[in-house]
Amino acid sequence: MMKKEYAAYQIEIKRGDKLYPYFLEICQNAKNLYNTTNSIFAKCIQLLNNKKFSTHYKYILKS
């Protein structure tokens, strides 16, 4: 099995750049998605430990 190699680049986008608002929005959306996902996982784990499920969380656990 071949190992995959990954590379990452870091480019500084300054506030005056025309692409700055675009990347700012993408970063904020990624942060919000990360936080929302962590919140849902934490709630699901808490519910699994308590064994009390509301209909909303039953739907989440089924999917």
CA distance 42 to 46: 6
The count of residues in the chain is 63
Whether 42 and 36 have beta carbons less than 8 Å apart is answered as no
CA distance 7 to 40: 30
CA distance 43 to 53: 10
For residue range 4-56, list pLDDT tens digits in order. Answer: 888 999 989 999 999 999 999 999 999 999 999 998 888 878 777 776 666 66
Read off the pTM: 0.58
